[in-house]
């Protein structure tokens, strides 16, 4: 295992639901990331946190709301999603921002009906 866990592993939600994805890293890293991985598309960086502070929001719609209460935990709150938001959502961490090695969790497979 990589030391990065994500829950749930699978999630099905309707467009009017509100749900949250959780990520936890046990590596003592300072930086955490959310990525979106869609079929046949490159991995898209969504958010970056460094020492709990958001340092990057890559033009992500407001229906995705991140939260980082401490350096070990990262959440992605979801509300009024669209079917095109269905994808694999990956969390990653690195010792610091800018490190070439990021450690990824297994992802949450999200389906929006």
Region near another protein per CB under 8 A, out of 11-19, 40-48, 61-69, 74-82: 40-48
Q: CB under 8 A: which stretch of 13-21, 61-69, 71-79, 102-110 binds another protein?
A: 102-110
Choose between 16 and 101: whose C-beta lies nearer to another protein: 101
Query: Distance (Å, rounded) from C-alpha 64 to C-alpha 74?
Result: 13
User: What is the CB neighbour count within 10 angstroms for residue 98?
Assistant: 8
Q: Does 5 bind another protein (CB under 8 A)?
A: no
> Helix, strand, coil shares of the chain as percentages rounded to 5?
5, 55, 40
45 touching another protein, by CB under 8 A: yes
CB atoms within 10 A of CB 6: 20
Exactly one of 58, 77, 111, 113 binds another protein (CB under 8 A); that residue is 58
User: How far apart are the C-alpha atoms of 86 and 59, rounded to whole Å?
Assistant: 18
**Binding-site ranges for another protein (CB under 8 A):** 2, 4, 40-43, 45, 48, 56, 58, 90, 92, 97-107
């Amino acid at each position: 295992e990589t030391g990065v866990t994500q829950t749930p592993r699978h999630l099905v939600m309707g467009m009017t639901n509100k749900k949250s994805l959780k990520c936890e890293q046990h590596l003592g890293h300072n930086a955490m990331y959310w990525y979106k991985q869609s079929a046949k598309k490159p991995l898209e960086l969504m958010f970056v946190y460094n020492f709990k502070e958001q340092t990057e929001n890559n033009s992500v719609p407001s229906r995705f709301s991140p939260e980082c209460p401490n350096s070990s935990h990262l959440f992605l709150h979801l509300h009024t999603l669209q079917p095109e938001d269905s994808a694999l959502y990956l969390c990653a961490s690195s010792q610091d921002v800018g490190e070439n090695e990021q450690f990824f969790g297994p992802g949450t497979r999200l389906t929006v009906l």
